[in-house]
Amino acid sequence: MRAATKAWVIWGTAVVVYMAAVFHRGSLAVASLEATERFGVGPAALGTFTVLQLLVYAVMQVPTGLLVDRFGPRKVLVTAALLMGTGQVLFAVATSYPLALVARAVLGSGDAMTFISLLRLTSAHFSARQYSLVVSFTAALGGLGNLAATVPLTLLLHDAGWTTTFLIAGLATAGYALVASRLKDTPDGPAPRGEVMNIRAVARNVRDTWRTPGTRLGFWVHFATMQLPAVLALLWGFPYLVAAHGLSERAASSVLGVMVIVTITSGPLIGAVIGRRPELRMLLIAGYLVAAVGLWAVLLISPMPPVLLGFVFGVIALGLPLSAIGFSIARDYNPLTRVGTASGVVNVGGFLAATLAALGIGLVLDITNSFTYALLVSGALMALGIWRTAIWWLRARAEVFAAQARGEDVPVRIRQRRWDSVALSA
């Protein structure tokens, strides 16, 4: 088998684990109403499922990078598949709320290990020129896992019931660990074992990464763009469409399916654009944020027919592929030795925002029983993300201009504008 073909086969084998992770992450979205009845909980307790899973994911990002460096992506991906399968099996048989929380925590631990492992595997098997394209395909195929967690999962839940549905999903994922165990860390075999880092060295590495303006910008880009589509797709979009707009369960699933289709189809296009014209990255982010805020405000103010809801949710879904720009920015402005850590830090941004949104929406729903008031939490977090993104965009640009003035090479050359003077006083 040719080396190029072998690289694609290895990537294809590994990306199935990521697709499973995205499926399990979004599996509660269309099962939220059943979960409320099964465990006898209200909106805040229901939101805790997603909050816990996302919190575990966010906390695990930097440790996962260290685990991948230490043991190689193959072992971490196998462990991820086993953890996700175990967590979903526990969730299938759980009848008490505490056991269900444990199950989602186990599931979140496995989910947290997939993406960074896949990025590391991709970087070892593909050239730097191919890397951006492969990562965009990775994100697009991950969307297929999310698509399976909409209409297909709704139908299976209706026909087979809670326990059978989640048992099938969990056992299939755990069984796939056997296939993942045949992966190769590098074209030559196992990855060299990284050195054991002490706590002081780890802290210094994270601190230096965080102090880099490009890392901060990537963090806040991920925070601002990912939060709204993630919280809709993972938990609150389905009950919001059913309760606030009167859609049937199948119609609500279809609207969420539009989000997935937009994510799948737009990811490679966005990756191709920013690969050729990286100077357009922040303009795309700014345009999306303006559109998302405007459409979200209209959505909360007035009811809409299903077709228009599909359009609005589709535009909002663009935030998921656009959030990957945060990784691209962090990669450009960190030395190679810190790119893994920087990717983990950026990934924390969006999942932290989604965690806060899921928790806040549940709490406000418990108090007001109004989605209009509850979803203002998401708007407030987006406003925070936009503000901090603007601040660190200016500061990152100032760093680039300073480097250019010193005669240093910069990853992306940009032209200075009048408003860049704001960075000096920010």
pLDDT, position 226: 92
Tens of pLDDT, residues 36-49: 888 888 877 877 88
Q: Which helix (H) or strand (E) holds 150?
A: none
pLDDT for residue 383 is more than 90: yes
Give the CA distances from residue 35 to residues 290, 357, 423, in Å, rounded to whole numbers and listed in that order: 35, 19, 48
* Rounded CA separation 365/407 (Å): 55
What does the block give as tokens for 110? Answer: 């496995």
pLDDT, position 337: 65
Q: Average pLDDT of 314-336? A: 85
Name residue 189's beta-bridge partners. 186
Q: Average pLDDT of 221-229? A: 94
Q: Among residues 23, 35, 30, 45, which one has the least CA distance to residue 163? A: 35
Q: Among residues 111, 27, 43, 21, which one has the least CA distance to residue 358? A: 43
Tens of pLDDT, residues 169-180: 999 999 999 999
pLDDT, position 170: 93
The string of DSSP letters for 275-314 reads: HH-GGGHHHHHHHHHHHHHHHHHHHHHS---HHHHHHHHH
Q: Average pLDDT of 211-229? A: 92
* Backbone φ/ψ region at 161: left (φ over 0), alpha (ψ -120 to 50), beta: left
> Which is it for the CA torsion 277, 281, 286, 291, positive or negative?
positive
Q: Average pLDDT of 175-191? A: 83
pLDDT, position 1: 59
pLDDT, position 347: 85
pLDDT for residue 194 is more than 60: no
Mean pLDDT lowest among 13-22, 233-242, 370-379, 396-405: 396-405
Q: Average pLDDT of 292-306? A: 85
pLDDT for residue 302 is more than 80: no
Tens of pLDDT, residues 143-169: 778 778 777 888 888 888 888 999 999
Question: What is the amino acid identity at position 16?
Answer: V
Domains and CATH numbers, the chain: 1-196 (1.20.1250.20), 205-426 (1.20.1250.20)
pLDDT, position 377: 92
pLDDT, position 274: 80
Q: Among residues 53, 62, 13, which one has the least CA distance to residue 29? A: 53
User: Please, which residues have CB within 8 angstroms of residue 67's CB and are 6 or more apart in sequence?
Assistant: 76, 113
pLDDT, position 384: 96
pLDDT for residue 378 is more than 80: yes
Q: Average pLDDT of 408-425? A: 62
Q: Average pLDDT of 70-93? A: 92
Contact 195, 364 (CB under 8 A): no
Confidence bin at 409 (pLDDT 50/70/90): low
Higher pLDDT: 388 or 250? It is 388
User: Please, which residues have CB within 8 angstroms of residue 280's CB and are 6 or more apart in sequence?
Assistant: 273, 274
pTM of the model: 0.78
- In percent, the amount of the chain with pLDDT more than 70 equals 90
* Backbone φ/ψ region at 335: left (φ over 0), alpha (ψ -120 to 50), beta: beta
* Rounded CA separation 86/75 (Å): 17
Higher pLDDT: 119 or 349? It is 349
Q: Average pLDDT of 226-254? A: 86
